[in-house]
Structure 1
Amino acid sequence: MATYQAVQLAQFGESFREAARIVDLDLRDPAPGELRVRNRYAGVNGIFDTQIARNAVDYVKIGLPTLTGVEALGVVEAVGEGVTDFAPGDAVVTTRFPGGYRQYNIAPQGHFVKVADDSPEWLALASTGVSAWMALFHVGQAKPGEVVAISAAAGGLGHLIVQLAALKGCEVVAVCGGPVKSDFARSLGAARVIDYRSESVPEVLAREYPNRLDVAIDTVSGEIFDAFLDNVAPHGRVVVGGAASDLEGRPEIVTAPRIAHKLYYKGASVRGFMNGLLAEFWPPAREDVFALYNEGKLKVCFDEERFLGLPGVFDAVERLLSGRSMGKVIVDLR
């Protein structure tokens, strides 16, 4: 019987590299209602992968061993009985765990979305592009003319939120580290870029945007979250999309008034964004993101580091966690 390789979580551990390994699996024909897809690219979610390795993602129940990875783009090789919407040769994307870090994915047809071709841009749009749209518009409810602040603005998610907010007619405040990332965020439409390596985010926001942040999307936590909260506008929304600076999840002693005091008199709110819990709302987001890309209004930027094959997954995860990446991080599985 033919076999294929996949990255499997064999145990729980502190890091993805420590907990996962590459294994050989039997390659089978698709059952009724299934597709067999040869993956060509995988999208990398370093924080999610690390938390999965630690069994720390509350809404995903892990039974060991399990395969890993969420996002992949591939080409359909075979379809099971009863499948009518897909055919061999179709390019498809999946954003369902654990469809990503594997050479082949055999899964129900409902796990896949057909895309125009097998270019990696479609992977980024169908996964991170949809996440960006959901965070900004579904959860953040951003409107034209509002001030939108974004942390990690040069990252895979951030660089797409910057563009979507600018296209909506929002005033974008981008937070990122270093002159290269700052120039990148500015080129995407950010009106104000705060380089946290050379400027104080709390001081800049207090001086230039006091109580003016209508939407603030944070994936970092710590000082940046506090600064966003301190300067949220009346009826503003602080969207929590992650906590990259707090992967350990240890309790932090904070000597400050409860956030209720900062929210109540402004009628403001703090909202959690977990895209995996919003699958029913993905189709309109995907339609809008695809249309903007086809019209040439939205561009996808990839990190300059290239990662090849399943062994490259481990390096790609660590690249993301290092904070050095800019744009979307993917692994070439061809």
Structure 2
Amino acid sequence: MRAISMEEFGGPEVLRLREIPEPRPRAAHHLLRVTRAGVNFADVHVRGNTYLSPVTLPYVPGNEVVGTTEDGRRFVGLTQGGGYAEQALLHRRVAWAVPDDITDDQAVALALQGQSAWHLLFTTARVAAGETVVVPAAGGGLGSLAVQLAREAGATVIALASTERKRRLARDLGADAAIDSTADDLTARILDAAGGPVQVALEMTGEPVLSRVLDALAPHGRLALYGFASGRPADLPIRALLEKSITVSGFWLPNLYRDREALPTSMTALFEAVRKGAVKPVHGGVLPLGDASTAHATLATREHVGKLSLDPTT
């Protein structure tokens, strides 16, 4: 079958289309013919050998897929690699039947980024109605979903984004304010937009944004960390955390893969939110499988909006 296989770490050019053996059916797995493979920043970290879980080469990237079984059933789910391919195996514990009224493009946005947004907000940060939450990268796949989920939960949403196009999208999705994440006076802008310190902040950028967002948190505020896209992780200022009794929590979705309740709960909630129109996944484009390197280069520009995916059928 055709797949994107990495034989070395490096830039987008290491993502090459190759013929590899088809996966063999396995117990407790669904074998899918893939129709959508999600592209995520986690894949960029894998490609550069900076991912939280090291991989062994050669390696097929891709951690979320939508596809159809031989008997015609449609599933969306999570993999630990192997998604950028014409066929993929999904363990039944992290695979969910896609309702007929949910499209492939909607479903692929929910498996990794949708569930990450849901658990960041409601499991890790415990956002409640009436609180104010800062959402980074609000024009991206995860951020655009987090804006909508937080709004639906009754929170005030302060969106961060690096371009006016993304900030306009965040406002259209329901953010109460949208701020330039590259601003030197980011802390002051957050405080002004929120009318004071905020209760909750999600953060995936790294320095210098992390420190500026941390300074905008109220006493007893909660900070949920899920990445460092800038490539500059920070040593957290212990004194500042103590002075304001701030709670800092890390989040990585694979830690929930063995939980028999967490992901089914979030996936059910996400399907229902899409059905009733409370959440509208932002379609960021679909590229042929062989254009995986272009997809990664597009991510690097930070200009794209919404969910980017690959179509292995083309």
Same fold by TM (over 0.5)? yes
1:9 aligns with 2:6: yes
2:302 to 304, 317, 323: 323
CA contact (8 A) 2:31 2:69 kept: yes
- Matched letter for residue 277 of structure 1: N
2:48 to 29, 38, 54: 54
Distance 1:206 1:31 in 2: 53
Please give the root-mean-square deviation of Cα atoms over the aligned residues, in Å. Answer: 2.2
Matched residue, 1:83: none
CA contact (8 A) 1:211 1:230 kept: no
Deviation per residue, 1:29-68 (Å, 9 max, x gap): 62444432100011101x322321233223x242222222
- Matched letter for residue 153 of structure 1: A
Shift of residue 197, structure 1, vs aligned partner: 5.8
TM-score (norm 2): 0.90
Matched residue, 1:104: 87
Q: Within 5 A, what are the aligned runs for 1:1-334?
A: 4-11=1-8, 13-18=9-14, 20-27=15-22, 30-45=25-40, 47-58=41-52, 60-77=53-70, 88-117=71-100, 119-196=104-181, 200-209=185-194, 212-246=197-231, 259-279=237-257, 280=259, 281-303=262-284, 305-308=285-288, 310-334=289-313
Shift of residue 274, structure 1, vs aligned partner: 1.1
Q: Secondary structure at the match of 1:307?
A: strand
Distance 1:317 1:183 in 2: 24
CA contact (8 A) 2:203 2:225 kept: yes
Distance 2:35 2:286 in 1: 14
Deviation per residue, 1:194-238 (Å, 9 max, x gap): 124678312312445476211101111222211111111121111
TM-score (norm 1): 0.85
Distance verdict in 2 for CA 1:98–1:141, change over 3 Å: same
Q: Secondary structure at the match of 2:36?
A: strand
Q: Secondary structure at the match of 2:212?
A: helix
Q: Secondary structure at the match of 1:100?
A: coil
Distance 1:215 1:272 in 2: 14
Distance 1:123 1:116 in 2: 13
Distance 1:326 1:276 in 2: 24
CA contact (8 A) 1:151 1:224 kept: no
- Matched letter for residue 288 of structure 1: A
Distance verdict in 2 for CA 1:198–1:109, change over 3 Å: closer
Distance 1:299 1:105 in 2: 26
Shift of residue 73, structure 1, vs aligned partner: 0.4
Distance verdict in 2 for CA 1:32–1:137, change over 3 Å: closer
- Matched letter for residue 259 of structure 1: P
Deviation per residue, 1:86-112 (Å, 9 max, x gap): xx1110112112131000114544442
- Matched letter for residue 207 of structure 2: G
Distance 1:156 1:10 in 2: 28
Q: Secondary structure at the match of 2:4?
A: strand
Q: Secondary structure at the match of 1:300?
A: coil
- Give the unaligned 5+ runs of structure 2: none
Which stretch of structure 1 is more off in the superposition, 214-223 or 29-38? 29-38
Distance 2:97 2:159 in 1: 33
Distance 2:59 2:83 in 1: 12
Distance 1:199 1:326 in 2: 23
Deviation per residue, 1:142-179 (Å, 9 max, x gap): 11100100111111000000001111111100111232
What is the percentage of aligned positions where both structures have the same residue? 28
- What is the aligned length? 308
Distance verdict in 2 for CA 1:294–1:107, change over 3 Å: closer
- Matched letter for residue 307 of structure 1: L
- Give the unaligned 5+ runs of structure 1: 78-87
CA contact (8 A) 1:16 1:49 kept: no
Distance verdict in 2 for CA 1:245–1:91, change over 3 Å: same
